[in-house]
Every structure is written in structure tokens, then in C-alpha cells.
Structure 1
Amino acid sequence: MVIVFLLVTVSVLVAGNWYLWRRLFRDTTRAPGAVRRAGAALIAGGWLLTVGALVAERAGAPFWLQRTLAWPGFLWLALSMYLLLALLAGEAVRPLLRRHLERRDRARTPTEAQVREPEPIPAGAPPKEPEAAETPDEPEGTEGTGSTEGTRPSAPAGPSRRLFVSRVVAGAAAAAAVGTVGYGSYGVLRGPRVKRVTVPLAKLPRGAHGFRIAVVSDIHLGPVLGRGFAQKVVDTINSTQPDLIAVVGDLVDGSVKDLGPAAAPLAQLKARHGAYFVTGNHEYFSGAEQWVEEVRRLGLRPLENDRTELPFFDLAGVNDVAGEDEGQGPDFGKALGDRDTARACVLLAHQPVQIHDAVEHGVDLQLSGHTHGGQLWPGSLLASAANPTVAGLERYGDTQLYVSRGAGAWGPPTRVGAPSDITVVELASRQA
């Protein structure tokens, strides 16, 4: 099955990139030449950089090499995706544009009924010089063929109608793709915006009404997003003056050795009841044990299948399901098994799929991330197929689930249709 999957994936990639080359370079040029060869080199080189960036990150290559490959490689990944989508949308435009040009050309060509009889020449008047007949546009596919017997000579050779349409569609697709990726990257690099959500909890006491939890997930510090980005996230969180901070996984994409300096601003997080951390799946690709110790050193409290009793409710956290491969998976029994069920309980769990275990253990609210809200539209469609909730607040029985879109981005530093956020969850007591 793995071999079949790889063959299908490679076939789809090859077909997609051949289509890109054809529409962007072959159909927009008259004959084979330097432009077509440069197009093939651009597409192949872009994918080599993308694959190189992915392999370098997972293989633990020198960090300077990861950073060198990451920017062009990951941006090409996003750009090629939106080029493909734009060109596919352009297929619907191509026949409409051709028909428009055909009607315009017919309207410009004089019909027999429009040809006037020559006016009679008065006696003694000098003969009138014949006017040069206007030549209609050359039909598609006949440029450079010259005149044929019984027809008027063609107009000077220019781009054929088909070539013109191909160039217009390719240019529009390229502009749309570059604009989309550019704006989506600006949105990420600018930093996440604050989102506020009110969540009523039946068991929450009156004294906790208005308790604010700043939820941040999926910061993804790595070869692209570094210390400057971490500082923006920390400053944004602190500006909300939360009562508690919850970092719900996927903090990093790399080792403590490479990214320790990038994560250093986390030591500046400030909240009356402290900052807490649970692992995400990417921590287990990056040395989870080392990162748990590093965030503890920075002043955050890791909740590894653990719970703490705050003055008004219980706060619990479970490891990510990716930890199962290392014997460090989620243990809901350990985190929640012996608690007082009369107290409200808030659970930190990276992946929304963990909601089903949370329901079984009587959790009132689960805070998660992982999905990025789809990150790159139409990725939200795939995310919704793999997760019970992609973003926002939903109820599952007596348990509510809130999923953040995350603060950063994985792979391309780009978001389209899924803006990054830091969410301030304000708890509301029904007794207030």
C-alpha cells in the first residue's frame, strides 16, 4: 500500500507540474527555445528546493542549511499550489475569451452588404484614386502563411488568437498566485491577531466569572519563524493581560540546540495564574523531552498527563497522541481519573480528536490547536475530514471544544482563508 501511495503521489505531482509548464511556458511561446527551457528549470528547481527543505528539517541537517532551503522551498510549495488552482480556474475563462475575440473580429470585418457601389465620376473630373482596403485580422492558426489565390493578403503577422488567450490567462494566473501568496505571507509575518471568545461553564463558580485564558497554539518556531516572531507572539499575549496562559502544542520545528535562542522570549510571558504547556505532534519530531525541560526552564509549567487545582477550576493537560510511538502518549486516567467531578475542568490537548476521551472523563472545556484552520485554502476541506472541529467553538454532549487556528504556520509561512490568532477565552459562570 505504501508503494502504491507513493506511485500515485509521484504521478499526480508529475502531471500537475507538466500542466503548469504547458500552460505557463509552452502555450505562451511560438516555438521551443530558451523560455520553455527556463520554465522547466524553474519548476524542477523549485521542487528540488521544496523536497530539500522538508528532508533537511526532518533529518536534522545543519541549521544554516535548513534556513537556506526553507524560504525558497516552502514558498514555492505555496506558489505552485495557487498557480495550479488559478490555471484550472482559467480553463473556464479561455473559451469565453476566445468567443469574445471572434465576435469582435467579425464585427470589424465588412460584409458584402456594407460594400458600397462606386460613385459615378462627373465629366471632366480627374479619376479618383482607389482607397486601400482594410484587411481583417488574420484567422487563428494562419499567421505567416501569406496570401492564397482568391483571397486578400493577410495582415502583418502577430500573435494568433489562441496564443493571445494563453498569454492573458497565464499572466492573470501568475499575478493572482503571487498576490495570494504574498498577502498570505504578510499576514503570518505580521503576527497573530487577538480573538475573543466567551465560554459559559455550568460548574464554574461566581468568583471565576470573567476569568481569561490566553490560548496560543502552533507557533512553529523553526528555520523560517524565529526569535523575532516569538517576541511578537509574547508581546501580543501579554497585551491581553490574561489570568492564565495556555500553550497547546507545536511550539517548535527543531532541536533545543538550534531553536533555544528563538524560544527565549517565552520567559517574558506574564499571567496571574501562570503559563502552562502541553506537547504537540511536532515536539515529538524535535526532541519532546528536551523541549519539556526547556519550557520549564523558561518559566512555563508542562502538564504531562497531569492536573493542577486552581482556585476556581481544575486545569489538566495530556500529551499528544504522537507520543504513543515513544511510550509518552496521552493518559486521561492519570490526568483526570481521581479528580472531584463537582469542580469545573479545563483540559489542554493539542489535537481536536482527543475530544472523545475528554467527553468520557467529564471535561467541561477542551482547548486545542493542530489544524491551523486549514492554513492554505482549500486545505480546510482536508482538515475538516480529519478533525471533528477545524476552528472555533463547538459542543460535544456536556463538553465544549475550542480549536485555535494557531499563531504561526508550518511549511510555507503563508495562510490563506485561515488567519492566525491568539484567542482570549473568557469563562462565564451561569451563577453570575
Structure 2
Amino acid sequence: MNGLILFLLAYFLLASYPGWRIWQWLRLLLPAWIGFLYWPLYTLAALSPLLERLPFGEAVSRFTGHLRNYWLGIFALFLVFITLIDLIRLIRGLISRHTGKRAEGSAKRQAILAGWLTCLMILTIGFYGSWQARQMHTVHYAMTIEKPADQTELKLILASDLHMGLEMDARRLQSFVQAVNQLEPDLILLAGDLFDGRFTDLAEPQDAARILSRLQSDYGVYACLGNHDSGPGLPDMLAFLQQAGIQVLQDESLDVAGVRLAGRLDRAPIAEQGKRRPLAEWLTDVPPGQPVILLDHSPLGLAEARGQPVDLIVSGHTHNGQIFPGNLIVAQIYENAYGYKVYDALHSVVTSGVGTWGPPWRLASQSEIVLLTVSFKSS
């Protein structure tokens, strides 16, 4: 409880700083009575991460959820730009004091210009990030597993982090399905976070299930659960996926095309999902020499997979940071934060995912599906 109080206190202090600086800028342009509009609106936006969790009904919850997503992005950008501007002002002031020379130009005019430039930068970044998040890329990796399967080669599609809910609408879902089907895969793997946390955020779940049911492959569509695929809505999520023809593997495995396909529960779900069991407890009946492909949402499962008969582990979760400098941060947290790496005989592929979490933007990251061409040793 103390930790939560400290977190909320820190958050509101952070939120107050750009709020006050924006208000100071608005006072240079507008009459004081604008504050009666500005402060309630700013407070509503700042409280949106908390309000969307309260039981106000679906319509209000969806509104505050959308508001939260955009607020998180805009707030972060304002915080960065305003901090930079204030640091520049501080440095200029120190230089002026040291040299005895005052900076030329009206302080008011400079403040107004800095405010407009900040707004322009944030609008530009927001529009570009939104556009970039909607561009679907295809990444191709080829690998060889030195074990035999029913076929000498399988064409797999890996996708993750659809985050179906507030921002992943039917049009984007349809584009995803079309992009996958055009590649004519043998097998489709969905590596978790198919939902954005609350099943009720799906505006038309029946339509979304119908769209996903059009995914086409020779051997089917399989998924594991991610940290957002959890909570009270989990039974509805599982029923939805079953309706869409997607088989969810929850610490279990089965044989597909001579390959053992396994899927895990998430290591750190944000709500109730079930207890994740160690691989050694359930991945025990694999015949010697059979290839094993493991779906594990978080790349943090890589270390445990090394000690098991796993040949390929596919993951998502990181979004490759989604928004700069997030890509630099996740690279320090995960052994493989993004891309294709090989550790002795273990192949690891981590995708940046299809959808977004929080701000519906991507900066220094991309929305993607992964085409994996997996060759096997001849029998």
C-alpha cells in the first residue's frame, strides 16, 4: 500500500509540472478565465489511467480508456520537451549571469514561440507515430533445425501483441488477416497479448472473431497467452479464440506436422491467468530427435528453454520498445529483445508485434508479422 501511495504521489507531481508550465504559456495568449476550462480538462486527462478502471459502465470506460492511451503519449512528450526547454533556459540564465550579458529578445515572445514549437513537434510526432503504427511490415527469417519432421521445410507465420480492444479496430484486424493469408503459411503462431486486458473493450467481438477465423494455413492457428490475456474476462477471451478457430496452448503441447508444438502461460500476467508450471514438469514426453517449437510470450523464458529439448522459441511482449527510447531500454532488459538470435542449438525469434499498448503510436519500432522458413534435417 505504501508503495502504491508513493507511486501515485510521484505520478501527480510529474503530471503537475507540465500542467503548470502549459498553463503559464496559455496565460500569455488567452484571458485568465480559460483556466476554468483548462484545469478541469487537464485533471480529467491526468486521472484517466485511474478513472478507466472504475465501474462507470462500458461507454464511460471506453472513453476514459481512449483518453488514457493518448494522454500517456502526449503527457510523456510534453514532459520531455518542457524539461528540455527549462534546462536550456537555466543554462542560458547561468551563462548570462557569468558573462554579464543578457540574452537578446523579449522573454515573452521567446516563451510564446517555444510553446508553439513544442505543440508543433508533439503534433508532428503524434501524427507520424500513429501512421507508423498502422503500417504492417513483413520480416523474414530462415533457419535450419537439425532434426527431421514430416516435411523438409515449414513456412510459419509468427505474430503477437494484437492488443485487440480500444485501438485495434476491425479494419486493422482485416488488414492483418489479409497480410498473413497472402503469405500462404503452413502454420500460424500467435505469441500472446491477443487482447488489451479487458474483453469488454472489444466493440464487436462477434465481428472480430469472424475476421480472425479467416486466417488460413495448412496446419492451423495456435496461440499462447500473454500478460494482458488475463483477469475476469479470460473465459470470454478463450471462448472468443475457440470461436475464431485458434487453439490456445496453456502449459501443454501437441504434435503438428511431425513437430512438437508447445505453449506456455505467461510468467507475469497482470491479473489471474493460472499458475505457470516449469517446462520440466510437462514437456517430458518428447521423443528423441523430434523438433520442438515453443510459444512463450515473454523473452524472459529463454534461459529456462535452454535446459529443455526446445529448438525454436518464439516470443513477443517487448514491442521493440514501441516508442523511442523504449527500444534502447528493452535491449538492456532482455537477452533477445527483438529479432532472430541463435544460442547453440536454440533458435530465438522475438517480434515487435502487430498492435500497440497505451499510446497508439510507434517511433523507432514497427508493426510487423514474421515469416519463418524453417528447414529440417532429412530423415
- TM-score band by shorter chain is 0.7 to 0.9
TM-score with structure 1 setting the length:
0.76
Kindly tell me: are residues 285 and 325 of structure 1, through their superposed partners in 2, closer, same or farther at Cα, counting changes over 3 Å?
closer
What corresponds to 1:346 in structure 2? Answer: 293
Kindly tell me: are residues 36 and 296 of structure 1, through their superposed partners in 2, closer, same or farther at Cα, counting changes over 3 Å?
closer
What corresponds to 2:243 in structure 1? Answer: 297
Equivalent residues of 2:149, 2:257 under 8 A apart: no
Q: 2:106 aligns with which of 161, 166, 175?
A: 161
- Measured after TM superposition, the shift of residue 409 of structure 1 is 1.1
What corresponds to 1:112 in structure 2? Answer: none
Q: CA RMSD in A?
A: 3.3
Secondary structure of 1:235's counterpart equals: helix
- Measured after TM superposition, the shift of residue 173 of structure 1 is 1.7
Q: Deviations over 1:331-366 (max 9, x none)?
A: 524542110131221111111111222111121110
Q: 2:205 aligns with which of 260, 274, 297?
A: 260
- Measured after TM superposition, the shift of residue 8 of structure 1 is 3.4
What corresponds to 1:217 in structure 2? Answer: 160
Q: Deviations over 1:37-66 (max 9, x none)?
A: 55434422311334323x15xx6x533223
- Measured after TM superposition, the shift of residue 268 of structure 1 is 0.4
Secondary structure of 2:172's counterpart equals: helix
TM-score with structure 2 setting the length:
0.85
Equivalent residues of 1:279, 1:320 under 8 A apart: yes
Give, in whole Å, the separation in 1 of the partners of 2:81 and 2:308: 47
Q: 1:77 aligns with which of 66, 72, 75?
A: 72
Q: Deviations over 1:291-342 (max 9, x none)?
A: 2233223212222222222334222112222469554424524542110131
Equivalent residues of 1:208, 1:312 under 8 A apart: no
Matches within 5 A, 1:360-379: 360-379=307-326
Q: 2:22 aligns with which of 21, 24, 29?
A: 24
Is 1:194 matched up with 2:138? Answer: yes
What corresponds to 2:189 in structure 1? Answer: 246
Equivalent residues of 2:232, 2:272 under 8 A apart: no
What corresponds to 1:130 in structure 2? Answer: none
Q: 1:278 aligns with which of 204, 218, 224?
A: 224
What corresponds to 1:408 in structure 2? Answer: 355
- Measured after TM superposition, the shift of residue 271 of structure 1 is 0.4
Give, in whole Å, the separation in 2 of the partners of 1:89 and 1:305: 47
- Measured after TM superposition, the shift of residue 383 of structure 1 is 3.3
Secondary structure of 2:161's counterpart equals: coil
Q: Which moved more, 1:179-188 or 1:375-384?
A: 375-384
Q: 1:170 aligns with which of 90, 115, 127?
A: 115
Equivalent residues of 1:224, 1:413 under 8 A apart: yes
- Measured after TM superposition, the shift of residue 405 of structure 1 is 0.8
Is 1:320 matched up with 2:266? Answer: yes
Q: Which moved more, 1:311-320 or 1:325-334?
A: 325-334
What corresponds to 1:179 in structure 2? Answer: 124
Q: Deviations over 1:172-196 (max 9, x none)?
A: 22211222122212223x3532221
Count of residues in correspondence between the two structures? 371
Give, in whole Å, the separation in 1 of the partners of 2:88 and 2:283: 57
What corresponds to 1:109 in structure 2? Answer: none
What corresponds to 1:65 in structure 2? Answer: 60
- Measured after TM superposition, the shift of residue 372 of structure 1 is 1.5
Give, in whole Å, the separation in 2 of the partners of 1:200 and 1:46: 50
Kindly tell me: are residues 381 and 259 of structure 1, through their superposed partners in 2, closer, same or farther at Cα, counting changes over 3 Å?
farther
Secondary structure of 1:294's counterpart equals: helix
Kindly tell me: are residues 33 and 239 of structure 1, through their superposed partners in 2, closer, same or farther at Cα, counting changes over 3 Å?
same
Give, in whole Å, the separation in 2 of the partners of 1:287 and 1:429: 39
- Measured after TM superposition, the shift of residue 231 of structure 1 is 1.5
Percent identity reads 22
Amino acid in the other structure paired with 1:10:
L
Equivalent residues of 2:291, 2:311 under 8 A apart: yes
- Measured after TM superposition, the shift of residue 86 of structure 1 is 1.8
Amino acid in the other structure paired with 1:234:
V
Is 1:420 matched up with 2:363? Answer: no
Q: 1:393 aligns with which of 330, 340, 348?
A: 340
Amino acid in the other structure paired with 2:16:
W
Give, in whole Å, the separation in 2 of the partners of 1:290 and 1:331: 26
Kindly tell me: are residues 193 and 328 of structure 1, through their superposed partners in 2, closer, same or farther at Cα, counting changes over 3 Å?
same
Q: Which moved more, 1:176-185 or 1:66-75?
A: 66-75
Kindly tell me: are residues 221 and 44 of structure 1, through their superposed partners in 2, closer, same or farther at Cα, counting changes over 3 Å?
same
Gaps of 5+ in 1: 107-138, 141-158
Equivalent residues of 2:188, 2:217 under 8 A apart: yes
Equivalent residues of 1:337, 1:361 under 8 A apart: no
Equivalent residues of 1:63, 1:223 under 8 A apart: no
Kindly tell me: are residues 266 and 23 of structure 1, through their superposed partners in 2, closer, same or farther at Cα, counting changes over 3 Å?
same
Give, in whole Å, the separation in 2 of the partners of 1:42 and 1:331: 48
Q: Which has the higher contact order (CA 8 A, sep 6+)?
A: 2
Matches within 5 A, 1:126-137: none
